[in-house]
Structure 1
Amino acid sequence: MAVIGIQATKDSNLLPLSKDVNVSQTKPAQKPKKKVSNWILFTLWFNTYRKFFTLVFTLNMVGLTLAASGHFPYAIKYSGAMVVGNLNFAILMRNELFGRLLYLFVNTCFAKWPPLWFRLGCTSVLQQHLGGIHSGCALSGVIWLLFKVVMMFRNLNVNHDAVLVMGVVTNVAVIISILSAFPWVRNTHHNVFEKHHRFAGWIGLVATWTFVILGDTYNPATRTWDLSGADLVRHQDVWFTVGMTVFIALPWAFVREVEIDIELPSPKVAIIRFKRGMQQGLLGRISRTSIMEYHAFGIISEGTYASYHYMVAGVQGDFTRSLVNDPPKTLWTRELKFAGVSNTSTLYTRGIRICTGTGIGAALSTCLQSPHWFLIWIGSDQEKTFGPTISGLIHKHMGPERLILWDSKLRGGRPDTMKILKEAYQTWNAEVVFITSNYIGNTEIMQGCKEAGIPAFGTLWDFVCIFPSNLILTKALIGTHH
C-alpha cells in the first residue's frame, strides 16, 4: 500500500473552460434569493420515490382494512403470505444483482431511440422506484405482521404458545430493524442504523423462518402438529421466505478483502485506488471489517479495460477520517457494485454532469467514458485538494470544449451556477442534467432546472421537511425530477 502526499503546483491548469460558454473570471455578484413557487416545491418534494411509496402503502392499507372488516378472506387465510410477500419484495428492491440486471435491461433496450419523455421516465423509475417500493413494502409488511399476530392472540385458545411467542419475537426484531432505518436515525446515528438494521434484520429473518415453520406445521383446528413437511412446501409464505433469504445472502457472497493504495493530496480527501476497471455510473461499498459499517462511494474509472478504479472519500465522519489519519493496506468491499443515476447516461444522446466538491467521485466516470457528456465541476482549490490523479484523468480524456472547472478560491467565490448550466445546456444541445451536490447546491440547481424546464436528476433528500416554504432535509439518496 502506498500513501502518497501530493503538493499542487503553483501554475495549476485545472481550469479549462469551454470556448462556447462565457464564464466571468471575477467574483459573481450576490443576487437576492428568488422565491420559488409552492408548486415547484411540491413537485420536487412529491417525487417518484414518494409516489411509489404512497401507491404501495395505500394499496396495502386498503387490503388490510378490507381484511380487518372481513371483506378480504384471502388475506385473512394467507396473512403470512401478505407479511413475507411484502418483506420479500422490499428486500428484492435493495438487492444489487436485481438492480444491475434491471439497469442492464433498460440501458440495452431503450438507449437513445425512444422519445425523450420515455427515457426520462426510465431514469426516474430506475433511480427512485427501488427505494420507494422498498420502504412501502417494508412498512406494509410490518403492519401486516402486527395484524397477523393480533388476530392470533384474539384466538388465543386454539393457537399454540410456541407460535404466539415466535410471532411476538418476530414482530420485535422486524420493528427494530424498520425503526433503525428511519431517516432521522440513519442520518444522525449512522452506526446505530448500521448495527440495528442489519443485525436485527438477520435476527428477524431467523425468527421469521421459525414463525413460518411453526405456524404452517401447527393445525389450530385439530391442535396437532404435521411434521412430515409434505404440507409445509405447499405454503406460499415458505417460498417467499426462501426468496427473502436468498436476496439477503446473495450480496454477501461477493464480499472480498482487497489490496488498495491511498493517495492523500490534502487532509480533506483520500483517493482510494483499487485494481481493475469499471463501467461508468457505479458505486461501491467499502469497510474496514467484513460485516460492519459499509460506506458507499462513487467509482471513477476510465473503463472496463483500465487497470484501476478510484473512490474519492471526503473527510466527514469517523470512517473517512480514519482513511486519512490511519490509511489501511486493505479494505473489505462487495465486488458486485450497484448502479446509480449516471448508469442511465447511455439512454441519452448528450448530457450535462454537474457536481460540487467530492461529488466528482460519482460524476467523473460518465464524462471520462463518453464524449457526449459535458462536465461542470465547482469546488475550492481542486488540484491541491484532490491531487494530480483526478486532474490527470480529466485532462487525459476531456478537452476544454466539454469542460468547466470552477475554482471558487481562485475566482473569489461561487459562480452563478444556473447561468453557467443554462448556457452549457443550450450550447451542448443536451437532453438531460445529472446533479451531485450538497443539500444547498442540489436544492438550488433542482429548483432552477425545474423553473427553466430543464430535465434534471439530482440528489434525493428523504428526511422530514418543513413544507412548502422551507425544506429541511438531511439524508442524501439518489433522486430526480423531470
Structure 2
Amino acid sequence: MLDDHSFRRFLCDKISRLISCLEQPCKRNVNSSHYLIWDPLLSDPTSQFRPDELLMSTLPRDLENGLNIHRPIPLTVTASRPPRDSTLAPIAKATPPLALSKPQRKISRTLEFRLWFNTYRKFFTLVITLNLIGILLAALDKWQYPRRYTGAFVLGNLQCAIIMRNELFGRLLYLIVNTLFAKWTPLWFRLACTSTLQHLGGIHSSCAVSGALWLVLRIVLIISEYHHYPPSIIAAGVVTGVAVFISIASAFPWVRDAHHNVFEGYHRLVGWFGLASTWVFVILGDSYDITTRTWNSNGVVRQQDFWFVAVMTVFVIIPWLTVRRVPVMVEVPSPKVAVIRFERGMQQGLLARISRGSMLEFHAFGTISKGRQSDEHYLICGVQGDFTQSLVDNPPKFLWTRQLKFAGVSNTSKLYKRGIRVCTGTGLGAALSTCLQSPDWYLIWIGSDQAKTFGETISALIHDNLPPTQYTLWDSKERGGRPDVMKLLKETYISWGAEVVFITSNFGGNKEMMEGCKKEGIPAFGTLWDF
C-alpha cells in the first residue's frame, strides 16, 4: 500500500502523462510561471500538512511564450511535513466568531405573503375598494348622492390624503396613543397601535388615488353635459385633474427612490398648482347655477366643497410656517458620512427635514438627542446622492429645516416595557435616541469600521451615555464579517426580555431581519422601502 508521499508522486506522474497524450496541442498564455498544487483530500488529516508550506512549482518558460507544447510538463510538488507528534502550529488568522453570517433562511410562502400584505396594503386595499364601489354605483346611476355632490367625494379623499402626511396631525396621533395606552394595555393592542401609526401612508396614498378617480368621474359628468356648463369650468376641471395625476405619478416608489429631485419638484410644486386650480374649479363650479345658467357667488361659502378645500389649504400651509434657517456645525469623520449638529434637544423618535434652500429638496433624517433638556441634537447623513455628497464636500454653516418635526415608528417605543433597537450603518441616526432616553431599550448596531467612519462625536454619545449592558456594537471589519443577525437578535430578545424589535436597515438587511423575526414569532417593525 502506497503511503501518501508516494501516492502524491504517483499522481503528479499521471498528470504529466495525461498532458503529453493530448491529441491536440494546447496553446495558453500564462501570466505567471508559478503554480501551487495542493489537494487537502489527498493529505493525511493527522499530518499537519499546510498549504502555506508548499513550495511554488516552476513550469517551463515555453508556457509564458505561448508556444505549442508537445512534450510532458514536469510538475513537482515539494512539501515539508513536521513530525506526527508535533504541536499544532498556530493559525495565522483568528477563527471567526460563531455568530458570523450564515446562509439566508427561507420562509414559507404564507409568511412571505403576510409580510407583503402588511397594514399599509390593508389600508390601501380597504380604502380603494370602498371608493371603487361608490364610483361604480354612481357611474351606473344607482346612487344619486355622489352624482350630485361628486366634488365632496373628490375633496374629502384629497383632504384625508393631505392630513395623513401632516406633521401636526401625526404628532397629535402619536401623543394620544403614547399617553393613553403605554405599557398597561395588552401587547397585541399596542402592536396594532404601532402598526397603524407606521402605516398611515396607506391611507394617504389610497385616498389620493381615490380622489383622483372621483375627479375623473366629476369631469366625465361635466363633459357629458357640456352644453350646460361654460368652457371655464370644464377647463378648470381638466387642468386640476392633470395636476393631481402628475403629482400622484411622481410619488410612485420607483420614481421617489430613484429620482428624488423629480419627486420633490413635481409632487410639491405641481401639487401646489393643483391646489390653486382646485380653488378655481370649486369657486367656479359652486358659483354657477346650471338650471338658470347664471353666476351667483353668494352661496359659495355654504357649500361643503369650499370647506373641504379650505381645510386642505390650512394643513398644507402649517408645516411651512415653521421653516427656519438655522446655524449648524458639520463634522465629516469620513468621506461616507456627515454628522450635523443643531441647537436644542429633542424627544426620541422624531425625524428632521433639512435643505440648502427654503422650498425644494427637503430630506428626512433621524434625530439623535439625549433628551429635551439637552442643548443639541445630531443628524447622521450617509452619502447616497448629490445632496448628501454636498454635505461632505462642501459643509454648510446654515441649513433650512422645519422646526415642527414629524414622528417615526420609534416614537411608539414608549408603549412597550422593554424592546430592542437594531440598526445598520447610518440607520443609527433613527435608533440611538430611543436607547439614550430609555434604559429599557437595547441597542444593536452593525457597521463597518464604526469608530473611523462615524467619528468621535457619535462614539462618545454611545460610550458616555449607555452602560455596556445596554448595547452590542458589531464592527464587521474588526470582527471579520457580518454576524448571524437572527442568532444575535433572538438571543438578545430572550435575554433582554423584550416585547418588540424596531429595525432600521438597508433593503437587504431589513428583509432578512423581518423575515427572520416573522419566522421566529418575534414582533418586529422595519423600514418601509416599498411605499
Normalised to the residue count of structure 1, the TM-score between the two structures is 0.89
Whether 1:336 aligns to 2:404 is: yes
Number of residue pairs the alignment of both structures matches: 437
Indicate the residue corresponding to 1:211 in structure 2.
281
Cα 1:328/1:294, change in 2 over 3 Å:
same
Aligned partners of 1:190 and 1:401: how far apart in 2? Answer: 40
Q: Deviation digits for residues 128-169 of structure 1, max 9, x if unmatched?
A: 1x2000000000000100110011000011111110110111
Secondary structure, in 3 states, of the residue corresponding to 1:355? strand
Secondary structure, in 3 states, of the residue corresponding to 1:257? strand
**Given that residues 100 and 482 in structure 2 are in contact (C-alpha distance below 8 angstroms), is that contact kept between their aligned partners in structure 1?**
no
Indicate the residue corresponding to 2:116 in structure 1.
45
Matches for 1:313-324 after TM superposition, within 5 Å: 313-324=381-392
Aligned partners of 1:330 and 1:346: how far apart in 2? Answer: 33
Letter in 1 for 2:206: G
Cα 1:63/1:190, change in 2 over 3 Å:
same
Alpha-carbon distance, 1:32 to partner: 3.3
| Equivalent residue for 2:107, pick from 20, 36, 60 | 36
Aligned partners of 2:100 and 2:324: how far apart in 1? Answer: 50
Q: Deviation digits for residues 409-461 of structure 1, max 9, x if unmatched?
A: 00000000000100100000000000000011000000000000000000122
| Equivalent residue for 2:136, pick from 52, 65, 73 | 65
Q: CA RMSD in A?
A: 1.1
Q: Deviation digits for residues 240-294 of structure 1, max 9, x if unmatched?
A: 0000000111100000000000011111100000000000000000000000100
Alpha-carbon distance, 1:189 to partner: 1.2
Aligned partners of 1:124 and 1:104: how far apart in 2? Answer: 15
Letter in 2 for 1:258: V
Whether 1:119 aligns to 2:190 is: yes
Normalised to the residue count of structure 2, the TM-score between the two structures is 0.81
Cα 1:94/1:314, change in 2 over 3 Å:
same
Indicate the residue corresponding to 1:416 in structure 2.
484
Aligned partners of 2:496 and 2:408: how far apart in 1? Answer: 23
| Equivalent residue for 2:226, pick from 140, 156, 161 | 156
**Given that residues 28 and 413 in structure 1 are in contact (C-alpha distance below 8 angstroms), is that contact kept between their aligned partners in structure 2?**
no
Secondary structure, in 3 states, of the residue corresponding to 1:286? strand
Indicate the residue corresponding to 2:530 in structure 1.
462
Alpha-carbon distance, 1:28 to partner: 4.9
Secondary structure, in 3 states, of the residue corresponding to 1:222? coil
Letter in 2 for 1:302: K
Secondary structure, in 3 states, of the residue corresponding to 1:349? coil
Aligned partners of 2:404 and 2:106: how far apart in 1? Answer: 44
Aligned partners of 1:376 and 1:25: how far apart in 2? Answer: 19
| Equivalent residue for 1:180, pick from 250, 257, 261 | 250
Aligned partners of 1:226 and 1:391: how far apart in 2? Answer: 67
Secondary structure, in 3 states, of the residue corresponding to 2:227? coil
Secondary structure, in 3 states, of the residue corresponding to 1:313? strand
Alpha-carbon distance, 1:34 to partner: 2.7
Letter in 2 for 1:107: N
What are the ranges of 5 or more consecutive residues in structure 2 without an aligned counterpart?
1-94
Matches for 1:76-95 after TM superposition, within 5 Å: 76-95=147-166
Cα 1:310/1:232, change in 2 over 3 Å:
same
Whether 1:263 aligns to 2:334 is: no
Whether 1:346 aligns to 2:417 is: no
Indicate the residue corresponding to 1:14 in structure 2.
none
Cα 1:284/1:30, change in 2 over 3 Å:
closer
Aligned partners of 2:100 and 2:477: how far apart in 1? Answer: 15
| Equivalent residue for 2:209, pick from 139, 142, 160 | 139
Structure with more contact order per residue of length (Cα contacts < 8 Å, sep ≥ 6): 1
Aligned partners of 1:267 and 1:153: how far apart in 2? Answer: 58
Aligned partners of 1:385 and 1:123: how far apart in 2? Answer: 32
What are the ranges of 5 or more consecutive residues in structure 1 without an aligned counterpart?
1-23, 464-482
Aligned partners of 1:260 and 1:383: how far apart in 2? Answer: 22
Secondary structure, in 3 states, of the residue corresponding to 1:76? helix
Letter in 2 for 1:312: I
Alpha-carbon distance, 1:29 to partner: 5.3
Aligned partners of 2:341 and 2:198: how far apart in 1? Answer: 27
Matches for 1:253-292 after TM superposition, within 5 Å: 253-292=321-360
Whether 1:359 aligns to 2:430 is: no
**Given that residues 501 and 522 in structure 2 are in contact (C-alpha distance below 8 angstroms), is that contact kept between their aligned partners in structure 1?**
yes
**Given that residues 27 and 414 in structure 1 are in contact (C-alpha distance below 8 angstroms), is that contact kept between their aligned partners in structure 2?**
no
Whether 1:431 aligns to 2:502 is: no
Letter in 2 for 1:311: L
**Given that residues 354 and 377 in structure 1 are in contact (C-alpha distance below 8 angstroms), is that contact kept between their aligned partners in structure 2?**
yes
Alpha-carbon distance, 1:91 to partner: 0.1
Letter in 1 for 2:357: T
Aligned partners of 2:522 and 2:371: how far apart in 1? Answer: 29
Q: Deviation digits for residues 59-87 of structure 1, max 9, x if unmatched?
A: 00000011111111110111011101100
Indicate the residue corresponding to 1:451 in structure 2.
519
**Given that residues 359 and 436 in structure 1 are in contact (C-alpha distance below 8 angstroms), is that contact kept between their aligned partners in structure 2?**
yes
Secondary structure, in 3 states, of the residue corresponding to 1:66? helix
Identity of aligned residues (%): 65
Indicate the residue corresponding to 1:406 in structure 2.
474
| Equivalent residue for 1:196, pick from 258, 262, 266 | 266
Cα 1:404/1:30, change in 2 over 3 Å:
closer
Determine which structure has more spread, i.e. the larger CA radius of gyration: 2
**Given that residues 353 and 405 in structure 2 are in contact (C-alpha distance below 8 angstroms), is that contact kept between their aligned partners in structure 1?**
yes
| Equivalent residue for 2:304, pick from 221, 231, 236 | 236
Whether 1:224 aligns to 2:290 is: no
Aligned partners of 1:395 and 1:307: how far apart in 2? Answer: 19
Letter in 1 for 2:487: K
**Given that residues 27 and 412 in structure 1 are in contact (C-alpha distance below 8 angstroms), is that contact kept between their aligned partners in structure 2?**
no
Letter in 1 for 2:179: T
**Given that residues 104 and 512 in structure 2 are in contact (C-alpha distance below 8 angstroms), is that contact kept between their aligned partners in structure 1?**
no
**Given that residues 195 and 292 in structure 1 are in contact (C-alpha distance below 8 angstroms), is that contact kept between their aligned partners in structure 2?**
yes
Alpha-carbon distance, 1:187 to partner: 1.3
